[in-house]
């Protein structure tokens, strides 16, 4: 028996890929097995045979967008959101090329009793072995001095992330922001005032800023523990975060600036020293410490000035300088 007697909403999937063909094969196999109204795949200038693979697929629901240049996850999702919102779907759900929905994800989503004030729903994301994927943990609705103090005094307490206990809840929980893995968004909002993800961010925090904008404009964002996605990634769950290749660290640090400025509001300059100290401490884990520190300083200054004009090629070149 269906989990929901009401007609299921039309949901379009949006997947962004770049040079991960084997991961994409699994993601599309799992995706096309479900009754999505459309499946939008943004190929970010892959060079590993992805274009030929996609061209050989015959499913009529597929919408393939082949980009001439790699626009990063932010640019890819912006293009994918625009295409999905134009298909007539009521909702879109987005995820990376190494993630995929659980077999009952759409059925579980359709069973949710969502009011018109709900603009987005974040799924619970797990590793393939069943562990919670921490990089996709939803964020708290508001940043308070209490949460900041707990984060600074106890290193295992996140100032922004929701407690893991919410994964055990039966009913959806209101949250402040979320990742782009398993995120459902009303297409009417994409076509309307919310618009598209911020392309200039390239990678990292495009999802946090987009969903934070959603909630700060008065729309509810819910975390639905019953709706599950799998993220088949290799992100470490413990220990120091060392980015390889090094250029990724630039985007992480730079894009934290506009995110925390918007999230923390008047507390931003209170937490800025803690952010700087965290990145300074991270430098000891890099073999090329001086190179990391130079790139981190550039990222901080660009982020504070909200300068997102540097070409990706420049960042890669700077990261490679001895």
**Where a domain ends, among 173, 200, 231?**
231
Cα–Cα distance measured from residue 320 to residue 250, given in angstroms and rounded to the nearest whole number = 12
Asked if residue 146 and residue 39 are part of one domain, the reply reads: yes
The answer to whether the CB of 190 falls within 8 A of the CB of 82 is yes
pLDDT greater at residue 34 or residue 244: 34
**Where a domain ends, among 205, 231, 257?**
231
Q: Which domain holds residue 304?
A: 247-320
Asked if residue 257 and residue 133 are part of one domain, the reply reads: no
**Residue 33, domain member (yes or no):** yes
pLDDT at residue 1 tops 80: no
pLDDT at residue 81 tops 60: yes
pTM attached to this predicted model: 0.93
In this prediction, residue 153 carries a pLDDT of 45
Asked if residue 281 and residue 177 are part of one domain, the reply reads: no
Asked if residue 146 and residue 173 are part of one domain, the reply reads: yes
The tokens of 30 are what?
């799992």
Looking at every residue in the chain, the average pLDDT score rounds to: 91
Cα–Cα distance measured from residue 61 to residue 40, given in angstroms and rounded to the nearest whole number = 8
Asked if residue 180 and residue 103 are part of one domain, the reply reads: yes
% of the chain at pLDDT higher than 70: 91
Which helix (H) or strand (E) covers residue 153, if one does?
helix 145-153
The tokens of 50 are what?
């992805």
pLDDT greater at residue 148 or residue 274: 274
Cα–Cα distance measured from residue 147 to residue 158, given in angstroms and rounded to the nearest whole number = 8
**Where a domain ends, among 200, 231, 262?**
231
pLDDT at residue 2 tops 70: no
Alpha helices by DSSP H, 86-233: 105-111, 145-153, 187-191, 206-216
pLDDT greater at residue 79 or residue 170: 79
The tokens of 304 are what?
């504070």
The tokens of 182 are what?
């398993």
pLDDT band at 148 (very low <50, low <70, confident <90, very high): low
Residues forming beta bridges with residue 120, ordered by sequence position: 185, 221
The tokens of 186 are what?
């009303």
Distances (CA, A) of 212 to 111, 115, 132, 217: 25, 19, 22, 9
Q: State the angle between helix axes of 312-320 and 289-305 in degrees (0 to 180), rounded to the nearest 10.
A: 150
Q: What is the mean pLDDT of residues 184-204?
A: 97
In this prediction, residue 175 carries a pLDDT of 96
How many domains is the chain partitioned into structurally? 2
pLDDT at residue 256 tops 90: yes
pLDDT band at 144 (very low <50, low <70, confident <90, very high): low
Asked if residue 97 and residue 31 are part of one domain, the reply reads: yes
CB neighbours (10 Å) of residue 5? 8
Asked if residue 278 and residue 212 are part of one domain, the reply reads: no
Collapsing DSSP states into helix, strand and coil, what is residue 231? strand
Asked if residue 258 and residue 216 are part of one domain, the reply reads: no
Cα–Cα distance measured from residue 172 to residue 224, given in angstroms and rounded to the nearest whole number = 4
pLDDT greater at residue 93 or residue 282: 93
């Amino acid at each position: 028996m269906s989990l929901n007697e009401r007609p299921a909403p039309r949901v379009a999937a949006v997947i962004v890929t770049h040079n991960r063909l084997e991961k994409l094969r699994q993601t599309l196999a799992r995706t096309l097995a479900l009754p999505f109204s459309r499946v939008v795949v943004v190929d970010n200038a892959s060079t590993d045979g992805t274009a030929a693979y996609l061209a050989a697929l015959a499913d009529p629901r597929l919408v393939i967008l082949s980009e001439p240049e790699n626009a990063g996850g932010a640019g890819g999702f912006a293009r994918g959101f625009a295409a999905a919102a134009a298909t007539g779907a009521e909702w879109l759900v987005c995820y990376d090329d190494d993630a995929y929905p659980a077999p009952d994800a759409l059925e579980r989503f359709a069973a949710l009793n969502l009011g018109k004030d709900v603009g987005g729903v974040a799924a619970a994301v797990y590793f393939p072995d069943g562990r919670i994927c921490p990089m996709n943990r939803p964020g708290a609705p508001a940043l308070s001095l209490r949460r900041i103090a707990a984060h600074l005094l106890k290193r295992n307490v996140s100032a922004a992330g929701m407690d893991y206990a919410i994964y055990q809840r039966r009913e959806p929980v209101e949250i402040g922001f979320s990742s782009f893995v398993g995120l459902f968004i009303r297409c009417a909002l994409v076509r309307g005032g919310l618009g598209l993800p911020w392309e200039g961010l390239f990678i990292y925090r495009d999802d946090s800023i987009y969903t934070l904008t959603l909630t700060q404009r008065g729309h509810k964002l819910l975390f639905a523990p019953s709706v599950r996605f799998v993220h088949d990634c290799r992100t470490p769950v413990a220990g120091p975060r060392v980015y390889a290749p090094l250029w990724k660290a630039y985007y992480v640090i730079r894009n934290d600036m506009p995110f925390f400025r918007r999230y923390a509001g008047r507390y931003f300059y209170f937490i800025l020293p803690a952010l700087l100290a965290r990145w300074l401490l991270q430098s000891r884990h890099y073999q090329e410490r001086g190179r990391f520190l130079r790139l981190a300083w550039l990222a901080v200054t660009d982020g504070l000035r909200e300068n997102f004009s540097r070409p990706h090629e420049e960042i890669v070149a700077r990261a490679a300088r001895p």
